[in-house]
Amino acid sequence: MALSITYTNNQDPKNKTSLLSEPPIYQNPELQQMINDGKIQPLIWFDKRKLTDADMEIVAYYLLQDNKTLTQLCLSNNKIGDKGAQYLSEALKKDTVRKKPFTLHLSYVTQTLTTLDLSYNQIGNKGVQHLGEALKKNTTLTILQLQNNQIGAQGSQYLVEALQTNTTLTELYLSRNEIGPQWQQHLQELTENRNLTLDLSGNPRYFENYCVTS
């Protein structure tokens, strides 16, 4: 069942001027109740719930900022786009989130990140830029899953920049995105002198069924 959002004070989320500096001006009672019920659990699964960017502000503010026990959060197969990725990335930069291992299984995201699964959402180049900023200090990533999103050449470059310091990456899944010929340059940067398997199948025709192992 889709989660509904009730806006308060006759305001819309896009009118906010800063991220996570104060409680969200809108509410999603069902989502907030699920957060309250699961806040002490190490594993929380919010996959396949039609969650949107606005919902990610609630998740980032009420769940991630004050996280003390959560190690794995599943947000795959939702409707999360660039703004939602930005909310999550902002929360992941907070010291209270990074004090202990945290896994975001949309996705897995923190300093002990090993697998990042952001598949089947609506994240584009800008969202990847925000996530890249959150990942730049991580040096333990081994598997990154971003299939079935809306990532193009610019997003690929953001990933390259974010992962340049991560020498443990061994698998990168980017199938069924919008990655064009410029990816070849990014691919060379990622695979140079390292053991890395990339899946680019299902992208524009130039890279159809293109999988490279170095």
Does 189 map to a domain? yes
**Domain hosting residue 45, numbered range:** 24-213
Does the structure show a pLDDT above 70 at 206? no
% of the chain at pLDDT higher than 70:
66
Q: Are 182 and 152 in contact (CB under 8 A)?
A: no
Q: Give me the pLDDT at residue 153, please.
A: 83
Does 4 map to a domain? no
Q: Give me the pLDDT at residue 17, please.
A: 44
Does 39 map to a domain? yes
Say which CATH number the domain at 137 has.
Answer: 3.80.10.10
Does 31 map to a domain? yes
Does the structure show a pLDDT above 50 at 5? no
pLDDT, mean over the chain: 75
| Cα 178 from Cα 125, distance rounded (Å) | 10
Does 2 map to a domain? no
Does 162 map to a domain? yes
- 142-195: pLDDT as tens digits: 777 788 999 998 898 898 888 777 667 788 888 899 888 777 667 667 777 778
Does 195 map to a domain? yes
Distances (CA, A) of 85 to 47, 56, 207, 212: 15, 8, 26, 28
Question: Which among 2-16, 34-48, 75-89, 130-144 has the top mean pLDDT?
Answer: 75-89
- 95-139: pLDDT as tens digits: 333 444 445 554 444 434 356 677 899 999 999 999 888 777 655
Per the structure, how many domains does the chain have?
A: 1
Does 19 map to a domain? no
